[in-house]
Structures are given as C-alpha cells and as structure tokens.
C-alpha cells in the first residue's frame, strides 16, 4: 500500500497578489503571505453574497453554486484542495493509503471529528454516504464518480476501505471536488431517500464542518456560527452570513457600503473599487474557462464543420480584450497552461476568419436564402444562446456572440435566464440549444468530468470513443510521465473534435473588506472548506 498525504493539485507557478486600492492613487501589490504572517484575531461575522437561493443543504444531492458555497462551510470531504498551497490534502481523513493496483483506498478518520449535535463522526457515516451516492434512486450529483466502487467496508470505527472494480488514479482528487462530503447516518439513515429529509435539506442541516447553521430565512439570508468543536480548530470568525444578492453590480455596491465583506468580481467591475481604501482585490489564475457550449444532441451541431465554422466566425481575442482587458487568454486547447505537467500539442489556433467560416458552412450544406439567412433542407440556421443572469462577463459575451453569428447569416436569440431557475433547469435536462458556462480545471479529474461520455458535467452530450479510451487509460495509470503522455493525446483529440468553444481562460478576482485577513488566492466557492482560517482585524 502507498501512503497518500497530499499532492500538488494544480501548478507550481500560480502567484497570487493582493491589490490594495487606495485613494492616494497607484495600487500597491503585496503577497498573501504578508497577511498570513500576522497574528489572527478572534471575532467578527463575515458577510458573503449568494447569486441564488441554495437548492439543498444536503451536499450529496444535485445543487448549484450557491448551495455548494454554503455546504462547504458546514460539511467536510475526506480530502480537499488547500486554497493557500493549491495542494490536495487529507481533510476529514487524517491520512489514507492506496494499493499498488489503484483499486483499494483506505481512509483513516480524524478521531476528534464531531457532528454539530455532538455525535462522533465514524466510518459508518462514510459508508452510509458513499452507499447513498452509489444508489441511482438517490439521484446524487457524483453517482458517475462512484460507478467503479465495488464495495465500501468499515474496518473499525475510524477506518474505512473503498474497493474499486477498476483502477482509478484520481479517486482522492475526485473526493475533493464537491458532492462527496460525509453525511450523518444517525440523522439521515431513517429516511428512505435523502430528498425526504425536508427540514435537514432546507433549514436545519447537521454537518461536521467549521460552521453550523444558526438561522435560515429562505430567500433572504442564512446565518452560520462558528463550530467550537471543529476538528481542525475553532474558526477565528464568530460566524458567516450568506445573503442572497442576485445582481453582480449590486454585490459590488454592497461591498463598498460595508454590507458585504467578500465578493467575486469581474474585470468590468474593477473600476468601481478603485480609490476605495476599505477594499482590497486578490487576483489569481482561476484554472478555468468561459465556454460557448453546443448541445450536441442536436443534429445541426454534430457536424464538425459547423462547429469549426462558428469558431472562425468569432474574433475571440478581441472579445477577450473587451470583457477582460489584460486578464486571461484565449486558446483552442482545453487544459489550462497553469497545469504545467500536461504537455501542449502543437496546434493552430482557429483565428477569426469569416470567409473560412462561410466556406465551411457551405460545405456542410448551409446556404444563404434570399433574405441572407442560412438554410439547409428548407430549415433556417436558428438557435438561442442561454445566458445565466448575474454574471456580468457572460452577459457581455452572449451579446457579442449574437452579433458575430448574426453577421454570418444565423438567426440567433439572446436568452437571459435566472441561474437558479430556467438556466439550471435547461442545463440539467439538456434542453438548451447553446449556452454560456464557466468550468474550473483545477486538476485532470475535471477533464474526465466534462468530456468523458458518462462524465457528470458533460451537459453538452459530447461523445468521442477516442477521448473515452484515452481517459479510461489515464485513470489506470499511476506514473506521472505516462499520465502526461496520455493527456497530450487527450488535448489533441479534443482539438480535432471540439466539444465546445473556449472563449476565455480567466484570471479571476475577488474583492474584500480590507479588514478581512488571510484571503486565499482562490475563488470564494473553492476556498470555503478553509474559511476557518479567515479572520477580521480590529
């Protein structure tokens, strides 16, 4: 058995800077280590916005961004990515081992872990959680991650062994990505289905994380208090209040007026915080991208020539400078440059070329009618771009894309929808035609989530036997050099048969109250398991 005590989840080159915006003029930059070196102070309540009403406080059930943000403060995964070091670490598990054939993973739980009601967290809770995730009737988000799980066995109260029916070199990474946090068997075991625990799921969850629910007012706010018995030590903060604030610009305004303390912001919102001495901005490589996704269930988008034409129809470099000046880059490969161990095949970027786009469409049978609208077999090239309301950058991109595609002769509708409403519904049901979305690629496991035929985030229904074969080989490969070789081939395969159009690999920013200390170089959602390290200066 090999001991696993944590490994680099992303890349060694990520450098995060905090921008202290002052009324005096030029911004001053300083490393986050400066804040970490100060002596933490106890007290204070952190106010964080949510774009939507959380769907469920059961982290295993399908949910959206807002629920994940809150749940990661209340529930604990076995492993987590440390937002300060960007390394995978044991979390609720104190340590774990894996067999040489990558089929047996043994987790050793922290003996001081307690549920918010005081009961101990045990291996029975882990088995209960994983068995529920594996049950298709539960509809768990991470069911695809557990398809290889053959057995979950309790060895003793603080040791559990997971046996897989096939090798999986990234099982520990996958447990850190959300949706596999451990649930309390002594509370939820009495329900036939997890969704039946209505009070738990909506108002009174019992977790084992750094913060616990104090008061829930659905539609308005959720008040959490510090868990004094948290297994990694009592949080420095006294609590966190999550407030529902759907509009991104309103969130920035409330930050400036002291109603909020920490928000994700877009480049277009940076000017709003300039000259404000009470705000600091943290900039970092998000290891993720904004994409334009085709619904590949629709025959019109299954033609490779159509997808390539639409990529040539958009000046993505110009659009990136418009919506994110000086921050991020455009690419036709699907793994961030920041994952430095993944080789980049030599490919030619699909530059803006309207003439090439029209030629490819004509080759695919799409010709302009007398009104200049593209048609094939008497049907117009017509579709909607589904955009989630509240993300300023994607709202801008959707309008720009509409203009480019319309200029090509397509009938394009801009469809702005609430993220927690119709946007999420159409995404989950696969009924959208095209949509804008953002995805993180913090590690290679996310590549299989997005592009494996059975990947749980493959909402566009991408199917490639070549990619499936390569990713399945990857999961069975423990050696990093061979993993790198396979990932080079995956990159090439995705380029040859693009699943979506990359619009922008993003550099991200968060803006925070200048008194909030130890802010990590990470987005708010993925930093939440480590919110116990945040503190407020007096």
Q: Among 266, 100, 91, 246, which Cα is nearest to 173's?
A: 91
| Structural domain containing residue 233 | 45-261+515-536
Per-residue pLDDT tens over the stretch 145-156: 898 999 999 999
Per-residue pLDDT tens over the stretch 385-441: 999 998 888 999 999 999 999 999 999 999 999 887 899 899 989 999 999 999 888
Q: Is 272 inside a domain boundary?
A: no
| Structure token digits, residue 311 | 């990529």
Q: Is 22 inside a domain boundary?
A: no
Per-residue pLDDT tens over the stretch 452-503: 998 878 999 999 999 999 999 998 998 889 999 999 999 999 999 999 999 9
User: Do residue 215 and residue 330 come from a single domain?
Assistant: no
Q: What is the pLDDT of residue 37?
A: 54
Per-residue pLDDT tens over the stretch 80-122: 999 998 889 999 999 999 999 999 999 999 999 999 999 999 9
Q: What's the chain's length in residues?
A: 538
Q: Is 198 inside a domain boundary?
A: yes
User: Do residue 247 and residue 389 come from a single domain?
Assistant: no
Cα 33 from chain centroid (whole Å): 25
pTM, full prediction: 0.78
Per-residue pLDDT tens over the stretch 514-537: 999 999 988 899 999 999 999 999
Q: Which residue has the higher pLDDT, 6 or 185?
A: 185
Pick the range with the lowest mean pLDDT from 23-37, 239-253, 476-490. Answer: 23-37
Q: What is the pLDDT of residue 32?
A: 43
Q: Which residue has the higher pLDDT, 87 or 383?
A: 383
User: Do residue 300 and residue 233 come from a single domain?
Assistant: no
Helix 354-363 and helix 304-312: axis angle, to 10°?
160
Per-residue pLDDT tens over the stretch 163-203: 999 999 999 998 998 999 999 999 999 999 999 999 999 99
Contacts of 135 (CB under 8 A, 6+ apart): none
Q: What is the pLDDT of residue 287?
A: 82
How high does pLDDT run on average in the chain? 90
Q: Is 4 inside a domain boundary?
A: no
Q: Is 392 inside a domain boundary?
A: yes
Q: What is the pLDDT of residue 327?
A: 85
User: Do residue 467 and residue 519 come from a single domain?
Assistant: no
User: Do residue 387 and residue 457 come from a single domain?
Assistant: yes
Q: What are phi and psi of 328, to 5 degrees?
A: 100, 180
User: Do residue 186 and residue 303 come from a single domain?
Assistant: no
Q: Is 402 inside a domain boundary?
A: yes
Taking the C-alpha atoms of residue 511 and residue 144, their distance in angstroms, rounded to an integer, is: 35
Q: Is 20 inside a domain boundary?
A: no
User: Do residue 257 and residue 329 come from a single domain?
Assistant: no
User: Do residue 257 and residue 315 come from a single domain?
Assistant: no
User: Do residue 321 and residue 470 come from a single domain?
Assistant: yes
Q: What is the pLDDT of residue 14?
A: 34
CA dihedral 203, 208, 211, 215 (to 10 degrees): 20
User: Do residue 336 and residue 412 come from a single domain?
Assistant: yes
For the chain, helix (H) and strand (E) counts, in that order, are: 18, 25
What long-range pairs does 116-122 form, CB within 8 A, spacing at least 24?
A: 116/74, 116/206, 116/207, 116/208, 116/212, 116/213, 116/227, 117/184, 117/187, 117/206, 118/229, 119/184, 119/186, 120/157, 121/92, 121/182, 121/184, 121/208, 121/231, 122/157, 122/158
Number of domains in the chain: 2
CATH code of 99's domain:
3.40.190.10
Q: Which residue has the higher pLDDT, 448 or 25?
A: 448
Q: Is 281 inside a domain boundary?
A: no
User: Do residue 220 and residue 134 come from a single domain?
Assistant: yes
Q: In which residue are the tokens 């868990």 written?
A: 227
Q: pLDDT class for 64, splitting at 50, 70, 90?
A: confident
User: Do residue 417 and residue 522 come from a single domain?
Assistant: no
CATH code of 425's domain:
3.10.105.10
Q: pLDDT class for 31, splitting at 50, 70, 90?
A: very low
Q: Which residue has the higher pLDDT, 63 or 99?
A: 99
């Amino acid at each position: 058995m090999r001991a696993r005590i944590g490994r680099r989840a992303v890349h060694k080159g990520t450098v995060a800077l905090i921008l202290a915006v002052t009324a005096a003029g030029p911004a001053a930059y300083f490393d986050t280590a400066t804040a970490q070196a100060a002596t933490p102070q106890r007290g204070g309540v952190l106010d964080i916005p949510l774009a939507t009403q959380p769907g469920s406080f059961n982290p295993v059930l399908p949910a959206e961004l807002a629920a994940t943000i809150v749940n990661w403060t209340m529930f604990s995964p076995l492993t987590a990515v440390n937002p300060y070091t960007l390394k995978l670490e044991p979390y609720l598990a104190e340590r774990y081992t894996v067999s040489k054939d990558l089929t047996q993973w043994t987790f050793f739980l922290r003996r001081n872990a307690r549920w918010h009601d005081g009961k101990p967290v045990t291996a029975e809770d882990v088995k209960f959680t994983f068995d529920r995730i594996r049950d298709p009737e539960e509809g768990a988000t991470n069911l695809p991650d557990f398809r290889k799980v053959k057995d979950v066995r309790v060895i003793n109260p603080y040791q559990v062994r997971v046996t897989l029916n096939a090798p999986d070199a990234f099982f520990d990474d996958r447990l850190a990505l959300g949706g596999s946090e451990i649930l309390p068997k002594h509370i939820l075991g009495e329900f036939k289905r997890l969704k039946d625990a209505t009070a738990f799921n909506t108002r009174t969850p019992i977790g084992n994380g750094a913060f616990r629910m104090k008061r829930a007012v659905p539609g308005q706010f959720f008040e959490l208090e510090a868990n004094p018995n948290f297994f990694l030590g009592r949080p420095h903060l006294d609590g966190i209040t999550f407030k529902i604030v759907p509009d991104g610009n309103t969130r920035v305004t409330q930050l400036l007026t002291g109603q909020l303390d920490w928000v994700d912001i877009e480049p277009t919102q940076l000017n709003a915080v300039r000259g404000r001495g009470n705000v600091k901005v943290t900039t970092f490589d998000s290891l993720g991208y904004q994409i334009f996704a085709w619904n590949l269930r629709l025959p019109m988008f299954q033609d490779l020539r159509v997808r390539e034409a639409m990529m040539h129809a958009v000046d993505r470099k110009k659009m990136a400078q418009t919506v994110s000046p000086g921050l991020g880059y455009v690419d036709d490969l699907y793994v961030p440059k920041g994952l430095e161990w993944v080789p980049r095949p030599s490919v030619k970027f699909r530059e803006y070329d309207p003439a090439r786009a029209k030629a490819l469409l004509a080759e695919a049978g799409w010709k302009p009618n007398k009104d200049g609208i593209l048609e094939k077999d008497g049907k117009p090239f017509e579709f909607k771009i589904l955009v989630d309301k509240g993300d300023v950058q994607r709202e801008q991109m959707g309008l720009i894309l509409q203009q480019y595609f319309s200029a090509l002769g397509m009938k394009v509708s801009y469809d702005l929808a609430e993220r927690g409403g119709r946007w999420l519904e159409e995404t989950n049901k696969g009924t959208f035609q095209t949509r804008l979305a953002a995805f993180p690629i913090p590690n290679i496991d996310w590549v299989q989530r997005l592009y494996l035929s059975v990947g749980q985030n493959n909402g566009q229904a991408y199917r490639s036997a070549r990619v499936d074969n390569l990713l399945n080989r990857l999961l069975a490969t423990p050696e990093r050099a061979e993993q790198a070789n396979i990932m080079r081939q995956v990159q090439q395969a995705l380029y040859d048969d693009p699943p979506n159009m990359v619009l922008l690999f993003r550099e991200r920013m968060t803006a925070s109250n200048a008194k909030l200390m130890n802010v990590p170089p990470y987005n708010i959602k993925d930093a939440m398991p480590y919110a116990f390290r945040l503190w407020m200066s007096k």
